[in-house]
Structure 1
Amino acid sequence: MTILRAVFLLAVSAPALLAQRARARELGVAPGVFAPGRHNAITDVAGVRVGQVTLTQGDNVRTGVTAILPHAGNLYRDRVPAALHVGNGFGKLLGVTQLRELGELESPILLTCTLCVWKAADAMVEHLLAAPDMQQVRSINVVVGETNDGGLNDIRARPVTADAVRRALTEATDGPVAEGSVGAGTGTVAFGWKGGIGTSSRVLPTRFGGYTIGVLVQSNFGGILQVLGAPVGRELDQYAFRGASNGGADDGDGSIMIVVATDAPLSDRNLERLASRAMLGVSRTGSSASNGSGDYVLAFSTAAEVRRAWDAPRLSTTEIANEQMSALFQAVVEATEEAILNSLFMATTVTGNGRTIEAIPLDRLREVLRRYGVTPP
C-alpha cells in the first residue's frame, strides 16, 4: 500500500472515528475565565494558517507533518518577531539560535518526528527557495520542531517525504484545525494514552486590548494527568511512577512542542515572556517536565505594527507596554492547558510498529469529572 493510498483510507474512516471523540468543551471542561475564538484554534489569530499531512503506511509508519504559517505572504521578506522558551532542552529543535539572536521568524514552523527533522528542513528550504522572489537568496533560517514517535512509528525509516512537507505548506488553511492522531501527532503518546495535535484560543475583552492568543501543541509527554484538578491519571490507573514501588520504569519522559500566536503587538522580549507562561499550562495538566522531556515554546506576533521587512534600514515599531501583559499571560496559560486536553480527548487509538496505544476512554473520563465536581452530576 502506498503512503498516498494509506492517507486516503485514513481520511475516509476518520469521520466515523472522530464522531466517537470530543473536544474538552464538549465534555464540559473549559479552563480559565477568557472566551475562545470562533474555531477555538490557533487559526483564530488572523492570518495564521495550519497545514497537516498524515503518513500511515503498512504496519509500521505512523507519523506526519504539521505546518504553522504566521501569515500568507513571504515570511523571509516580511518577518514576524518571535521568541523561544525552553522548559526542558531534551530535543532537536532546528533553527532557534538565529531566532533567539535576531528575535524574528523568517520561515513557517514545521513539526514532525525526531529523526525526520533534517529531511523536513531540507524539503522546506527547497520549497521556499523555489519561489520567484527568492532566486537571489543565499541564506535562510528554517525552524523545525519534533517529538519522538518511535513507539508507534518506524522512526529509523525517516518516512517524511519532501512531498508531504510541500503539501503541508501549500495546503495550509485558516479554518478549523484537525486534532488528535493527525499530522505530526499521528504517532505520539501523552500520559500513557494516545496524544497528538491539539489547539485552543482566547480572545481578550476590549478593556484588556481585545487581542487574540492561539496555541497549537504536539503532545508526546508524560506525568500524572489532571483535568481542572480532577486526578484523572490516578483514577484511571494510568500515570508516571505508578510502578515506583516495584521497580517500574515510567518516569513521565516524552516531549511537547508548543506554538503560540498572537495579534498583540509584542517585541521578541515580551514574546519570550509570553512563551514562558505557556509552561504553566503544561504543568496544570500534570507534567513535571521530566529529564527526558523536550519542552519547547515558540511564540510569534502577527501584528502589522511589529512586522520586520528583511531589507529595512531601521525598525520603528509600536508595542504594548509591560503593564498590559498580565491578561495575555493568563490567556496563554488557559489556551495551552485546553490545547493539551484537546490533543488527548480527540486522539484515536493507533496501532503501529507492533504496539497499540489506546485513546483515553471518554466514558470513564466523564465519570471521574462528575465525581470530582468538574462537570455536573
Structure 2
Amino acid sequence: MNDSVKITEDERPRARDIGIHIGVFSPGKYNAITDVKGVLVGHCTLIQGHGPLTPGKGPIRTGVTAILPHDGNMFKQKVPAASFVFNGFGKSIGLHQVNELGNLETPILLTNTLNAPIVADALIEWMMKENPEIGIDTCTVNPVVGEINDGFLNDIQGRHVKKEHVFEALTTAQSGQIKEGAVGAGTGSSCMGWKSGIGTSSRVLPQDLGGFTVGVLVLTNFDGLLTVNGAPVGRKLGHIPFKDPGGSVMVITATDAPLYQRHLLRVAKRAVLGLARTGFYGSNGSGDFFIAFSTATTIPHEPTDVTLQGVAMTNDALSSLFLATVETTEEAVINSILKAETTVGRDGNISEAVDIQKLVRILRDYSIE
C-alpha cells in the first residue's frame, strides 16, 4: 500500500483504488451489484437550501434509489426473493409478502424513513401504469420499499421525495458502473461517525464453484466502530460507538445462482456477517433489513406450469455463495464511506468524509492490503 494517495473531493476512491482487497474471491467487471446480468440501478438526488431547519421546507438532503432485477415487466415476470430482519426498528414496506410467496414483483426502492409511504404510493402508480389490470382483472401489487433516517442532515418532516423523483430513479436506472456515496437514498446518511450513503461490490465464483456472480448494494446509516479489512480505523481516529441512539442499514443482494426463497433467505442472513466485519453491532434503534433475489429464472404472474423450473441448487453448494455475500457486503460498506463527500445539512449539521490519507496510514501501520 502506498504511503500517500492523491485524492480530491471530486474523485474519492473505492476500496480497491487505494489497495484494499477484501476477501478471497474476485470482483466482477464493475465490482457492483450490476455485475449480476440484468440488474439496473438508478438514483434521484435532492439537495436544496442551507441554514436553520424550517420543518416542511428544508434544507433538503435526501433522495431515492431504485434497484431493478431486470428491465422487463416485473409484475408479469417476478423473480425469486427473500427478506430478513436483524433488528426491526424500521419502516420498510412489503417484506412480509416477499417471504410468504417467495418472490419480488416490483423494483426495490430505498429512501428516507418518513418518505417510505409516499415512495410506495408512487411505485404502485408506476406498476399500475405498466399493468392496468392490477386491482381489476388480477390481484393487487406488493411494493417493496426500504428506508433509513436521514434527519440529522435533512428536513425529514418535509417528505420531499415525490412521485416525479421516484419515476426519475426508475427511468434512469442502468447497468454498468453506478454512483456511490452521497447520492440517491444515501444523500443524507452517515455511518459509524462519517458521511456514507450508497455502496456496492460484487464477487464472481470460480467455475468449479459454479461461476455464479453475487452483487450487493448497501444503504448505510448505522453506528459502530469502523474496521477496514481488520484494521481498527474508528478507534485510531477517535470515532467511538455508543454515542448515537441508532441508525439503519439496507442490504440488497443479487445473484444469478439458481436459488429459491429458502436458499435466498439463508444468503440474505449472511450479509449480517459482512456488516459485522466493518464494525456494525446492531444497536437498539437500528433498522437492519436484508433482501436477496435471484435472476436465474423469472416467475410468470399466471404460470402455465405447476413447477418452478431452473431453481434447483442444493444446500451443500451454498457455502461459497455465503462467503461471497459476506465479502461483498463488507466491501460495499467500505465503498459507501470512502466515496461519500463531506455534507453540510440542516442547522449547519456536518457529516464529515473520512480522511483518506489518515485511513491509508492506519492500514499501512497494520500491514493491511
Output the TM-score relative to the length of structure 1. Answer: 0.91
Is residue 2:296 matched to residue 1:298? no
**Residue 4 (structure 1) aligns with:** none
Q: Alpha-carbon deviation of 1:315?
A: 2.5
Match of 1:43 in 2: 34
Structure 1 residue 340 corresponds to structure 2 residue 333: yes
Which range is displaced more, 207-216 or 316-325? 316-325
The corresponding residue for 2:205 is: 204
> Residue 224 of structure 1 contacts residue 233 of structure 1 at CA under 8 Å; is this kept in 2?
yes
The equivalent residue for 1:162 is 163
RMSD value, Cα: 1.2
Structure 2: how far apart are the matches of 1:154 and 1:167? 21
Q: Could you tell me which of 17, 37, 53 is aligned with 2:44?
A: 53
In the alignment, which residue of structure 2 is the partner of 1:245? none
Q: Deviations over 1:339-365 (max 9, x none)?
A: 000000000000011211100010110
1:227 is matched with 228
User: Hey, what does 2:66 align to over in structure 1?
Assistant: 67
Provide the secondary structure at the position in 2 that maps to 1:271: helix
Identity %, equivalent residues? 51
Cα deviation, residue 251, structure 1: 4.8
Partner of 2:214, secondary structure, is: strand
Q: Residue deviations 1:240-294, cap 9 Å, x none?
A: 03xxxxxxxx156211000000000001000000000000000000111111111
Change (3 A) 1:302 1:236: same
Does the 8 Å CA contact 2:28/2:203 hold for their aligned counterparts? yes
Do structure 1's residue 238 and structure 2's residue 239 form an aligned pair?
yes
Displacement over 2 Å in runs of 4+: 15-18, 315-318
Amino acid at match of 2:134: V
User: Counterparts in 2 of 1:1-377, with a 5 A limit?
Assistant: 17-19=9-11, 21-59=12-50, 60-131=59-130, 134-138=131-135, 139-241=140-242, 250-251=243-244, 253-304=246-297, 307-313=298-304, 314-318=306-310, 319-354=312-347, 355-375=349-369
Query: What is the CA-CA distance between 1:181 and the residue it aligns to?
Result: 0.5
Would you say the 8 A contact 2:191–2:337 is kept in 1? yes
Number of the residue aligned with 2:53: none
**What is the CA distance between 1:308 and its match in structure 2?**
0.9
Q: Which amino acid aligns with 2:360?
A: R
State whether residues 65 and 110 of structure 2, in contact with CA within 8 Å, keep that contact through their aligned partners in structure 1.
yes
SS, match of residue 83 in structure 2: strand
Distance 1:88 1:278 in 2: 13
Quote how far apart the aligned CAs of 1:331 are. 0.2
The secondary structure found in structure 1 opposite 2:251 is strand
Q: Is the 8 A contact 1:240 1:252 kept in 2?
A: no
1:146 shift after superposition? 0.1
How many matched pairs? 348
Q: Determine if contact 2:14/2:338 at 8 Å carries over to the other structure.
A: yes
Task: List runs of 5+ in structure 1 lacking aligned partners.
Answer: 1-14, 242-249
Q: CA offsets, 1:17-75, max 9 Å, x none?
A: 332x1100111111100000000000000000000010011121000000000001101
Contact 2:299 2:308 in 1 (8 A): no
CA distance in structure 2 between the aligned counterparts of 1:137 and 1:273, rounded to whole angstroms: 31
User: In the aligned structure 1, how far is the partner of 2:179 from the partner of 2:245?
Assistant: 26
Structure 1 residue identity aligned to 2:101? L
Residue 201 (structure 1) shift: 0.2
Task: Name the CA distance, whole Å, in 2 between partners of 1:259 and 1:101.
Answer: 18
Q: Extract unaligned runs of 5+ from structure 2.
A: 1-6, 51-58
For the 8 Å contact 1:223–1:252, the answer to whether it is kept is no
Distance 2:134 2:119 in 1: 19
User: Structure 2-normalised TM-score?
Assistant: 0.93
Which amino acid in structure 2 is aligned with residue 44 of structure 1? D
Q: 1:80 & 1:108 partners in 2: Cα distance? A: 10
Q: Is the CA contact (8 Å cut-off) linking 1:52 and 1:183 kept in structure 2?
A: yes
Distance 2:264 2:101 in 1: 13
Aligned-partner Cα distance in 1 for 2:239–2:96: 37
Other structure's SS at 1:234 match = helix
Amino acid at match of 1:336: T
